[in-house]
Amino acid sequence: MTGSIKAVTVFLSSCSGWISLTTFVDFNLDEQLLRALEEAGYETPTPVQEEVIPKILEGADLIVSAQTGTGKTAAFLLPALHALKTPPQEKQRGPRMLILVPTRELALQITTAAEKYSKHLPMLKTVCVYGGVPYPLQKRMLSKKYDVLVATPGRLIDHLENGFIDLSALEFLVLDEADRMLDMGFIEAVERIAESTPSTRKTLLFSATLDKKIKRLSRDLQNDPFEIQIKPDKTVQDNIEERLYFTDGLDHKLALIDQLLDDPKVGQAIIFTSTISSTEDLSDHLSEKGIRSAALNGDMNQRRRTFTIDKLRKGRIKILVATDVAARGIDIANLSHVINLDLPFQSEDYIHRIGRTGRAGATGIAITFARYRDRDKLSKIERLTGKPLTVHTIEGLEPQKERATSPSRRKGKPFKKRSGPPSFGDKRKKTGSSSFGENRKSSANSSFGDKRKKAGSSFFDESRKSSENSSFGENRKRSENSSFGENRKRSENSSFGDKHKKAGSSSFGEKRKRAENSSFG
């Protein structure tokens, strides 16, 4: 491949406030595609669509820097589907277009979009493969005729090695969120997949950033690509108050969530998590505490997602627990709070998340949980927004690790100490029970967050020995001190998180037989 980038880079403002003088008709797309766009309510192209669609129609390789929510999925799908509507000259086995993505959730979202745009082109079929689904089921799908394949790298490699997929007739190779795939260690898989495709293919690379690793990948896979960059929107509305809570781990986050949501000032809110399984786990936890909540994630079909969002819009649920991809584009006027249970993978997603509150001039509060070791990520967010994150604490739920145990200096702007009146949730009722974190005698059979009926015991007073690297809802290695969201075996000394059918007080961490819930391919 000759990967020198010869085209002039195009810098554009983000989609916010964008007024396009171009319409989709101007691209001379197939009438059936235009019909589907009209039915979907698409009127004018976004900046990334206006730049990308003509270049793909011209047959160019592209390297595009664009954030989520800019319309990049339609930018590569529409021109490719336009080209694929023409039958191939020779009968082929395997896909004509391959879209590689880092997660199952993104794979499902792109598959839904492809089916929506091609709904009036019945000759075009889309197949989606990812980890966690039985091989025989996917083998049957791959044995039929299809044109577009959306896949995660790991599962695609398995099918290639077993001879279930033939990429010899591929016309389009798309790498979406390429930077994330590299960060997840998929570089070798991506290169092996590319080697199985013809050199005549068109390669479209989309990434939030264009660092050295992405440029190197482009040189290996592309032919004289055009480079297009869409500047991210760095604006955070002044009517959104940003608060930062340092946490010791997962169970500490849960204690904070429970306390914060007790405040009557919390109206409706969205809680963002990093995994599909964590949306279900936290939603179950909140429901069991009497809070009307629902999960929104990539496991849900479009009808169920629409139904869930409609329930939030009508006020039938108070808390929506969602992943970034699933919550993209949600516009609810009365959201008082956004809570980041997990930091977003990309700093720009922080802006998209907290922008769900403070709509139509109303005030909003954005709460972020982070570990002290996340300081570099927090600095990136502060540099992006141009605003410092103000640190807050709740009495009795302060983080136990002192800042002195972390590096003495952090990059970027310093965090500001909280001043003024206490934030919502700060005023805990004083009782005879000990505060969070006191009397922490750990037990080999109890996990942090166990519900105990012992008189005088604290609400959450167990040890915070959750793993430094564990994330809410991940499938983690079992240990004696099991954490929230793990698939745990029931034992005689069941911890808070086991669902007891006989006990009458079920909780949130029951073993889920959902092999497909892994976010990674």
* pLDDT the model gives residue 1: 63
Output the 3-class SS for 198-212.
Answer: CCCCEEEEEECCCCH
Average pLDDT score over residue span 187-196: 95
pLDDT category at 430 given cuts 50, 70, 90 is very low
Distance CA 102, CA 108 (A): 11
Q: Which tokens belong to 464?
A: 């915070």
Average pLDDT score over residue span 310-324: 92
Distance CA 57, CA 29 (A): 9
Q: Which tokens belong to 61?
A: 């390789």
Average pLDDT score over residue span 296-303: 81
347-354 vs 375-385: helix axis angle to the nearest 10? 60
* pLDDT the model gives residue 502: 38
135-142 vs 153-161: helix axis angle to the nearest 10? 70
- 319 pLDDT exceeds 60? yes
* pLDDT the model gives residue 402: 47
* pLDDT the model gives residue 178: 94
Output the 3-class SS for 84-135.
Answer: HCCCCCCCCCCCCEEEECCEHHHHHHHHHHHHHHCCCCCCCCEEEECCCCCH
CB 359 within 8 A of CB 333: yes
Q: Which tokens belong to 477?
A: 């290695």
- 225 pLDDT exceeds 60? yes
CB 69 within 8 A of CB 120: no
CB atoms near residue 115 (< 10 Å): 16
- 401 pLDDT exceeds 50? yes
What are 411-416's contacts with CB under 8 Å, separation 24+?
A: 411/375, 411/376, 411/379, 412/378, 412/379, 412/380, 412/382, 412/383, 413/379, 413/382, 413/383, 413/388, 414/388, 415/244, 415/378, 415/388, 415/389, 415/390, 415/391, 416/388, 416/389, 416/390, 416/391
Best CA proximity match to 101, nearest among 188, 178, 49, 33: 178
What is the pLDDT of the chain when averaged over all its residues? Answer: 77
Average pLDDT score over residue span 248-263: 93
Q: Name the residue with tokens 């390789």.
A: 61
Higher pLDDT, 230 or 200: 200
- First and final C-alpha spacing in the chain: 27
Contacts of 349 (CB under 8 A, 6+ apart): 67, 68, 324
**% the chain with pLDDT above 90:** 50
* pLDDT the model gives residue 328: 65
CB 245 within 8 A of CB 368: yes
CB 416 within 8 A of CB 387: no
- 414 pLDDT exceeds 50? no
* pLDDT the model gives residue 2: 54
- Report in angstroms the alpha-carbon separations of 3 from 168, 208, 224: 21, 19, 5
- Report in angstroms the alpha-carbon separations of 145 from 99, 127, 141, 371: 17, 10, 8, 48
Domains and CATH numbers, the chain: 10-230 (3.40.50.300), 240-517 (3.40.50.300)
* pLDDT the model gives residue 279: 95
What type of residue sits at position 392?
H
* pLDDT the model gives residue 406: 41
Q: Which of the 8 DSSP states describes residue 386?
A: T
Distance CA 242, CA 244 (A): 7
* pLDDT the model gives residue 197: 97
CB 191 within 8 A of CB 219: no
pLDDT category at 480 given cuts 50, 70, 90 is very low
Average pLDDT score over residue span 318-330: 81
Distance CA 328, CA 340 (A): 15
At 125-184, the pLDDT tens digits run 999 999 888 999 999 999 999 999 999 999 999 999 999 999 999 999 999 999 989 988
* pLDDT the model gives residue 331: 73
| pTM confidence score | 0.58
- 84 pLDDT exceeds 90? yes
